[in-house]
């Protein structure tokens, strides 16, 4: 997986050894290649990932709206998620409200059948409902960069 983990979501149990502490440095290394051994039938694994560098939003893939802006959903069968028994891999770079089409946040979904249609619909609903607040709006005024405390 590319980038450091922010959060893992899955219908299957995750490996405790793969957890990272919230105090970890920005973009901590992932202690495991995958935080689960394999997906069960109709299983879903989702990883929200953070990269250190802003990258351009993709120009290929299905156009979708996320976080109030356009981005591209890239779907492959099975691609990288085959390592955990998934039949479908979905990647999305999350638009984060920059003045230019850049992002350092992405969502990776691994889906296993037989009911891929339902799992993909639920994943798309999650993407459509996600809202990412700008960091400066989440910080108190005294915590913002360039301000004395």
The domain locations on the chain are: 1-11+40-112
Distance CA 51, CA 9 (A): 18
Per-residue model confidence (pLDDT) at position 2 = 55
Residue 124's φ and ψ, nearest 5 degrees, are -65, -35
Going residue by residue through the chain (149 aa), what tens digit of pLDDT does each one get?
456 788 899 999 999 888 766 655 555 555 678 999 999 999 999 999 887 778 888 889 999 998 888 899 999 888 899 999 999 999 998 888 766 777 888 999 999 999 999 999 999 999 999 888 764 444 445 544 444 44
Per-residue model confidence (pLDDT) at position 149 = 43
Pair type for strands 4-10 and 44-56: antiparallel
Per-residue model confidence (pLDDT) at position 81 = 95
Distance CA 24, CA 51 (A): 14
């Amino acid at each position: 997986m590319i980038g450091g983990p922010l959060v893992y979501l899955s219908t299957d149990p995750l490996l405790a050894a793969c957890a990272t502490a919230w105090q970890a440095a920005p973009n901590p290394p992932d202690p495991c290649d995958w935080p689960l051994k394999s997906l069960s039938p109709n299983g879903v694994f989702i990883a929200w990932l953070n990269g250190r560098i802003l990258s351009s939003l993709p120009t290929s893939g299905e156009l979708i709206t996320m976080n109030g802006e356009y981005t591209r959903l890239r779907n492959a069968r099975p691609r990288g998620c085959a390592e955990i028994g998934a039949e479908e891999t979905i990647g999305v770079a999350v638009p984060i409200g920059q003045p230019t089409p850049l992002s350092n946040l992405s969502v990776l979904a691994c889906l296993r059948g037989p009911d891929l249609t339902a799992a993909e619909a639920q994943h798309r609903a999650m993407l459509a409902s996600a809202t990412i607040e700008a960091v400066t709006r989440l910080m108190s005024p005294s915590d913002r960069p360039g301000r004395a405390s």
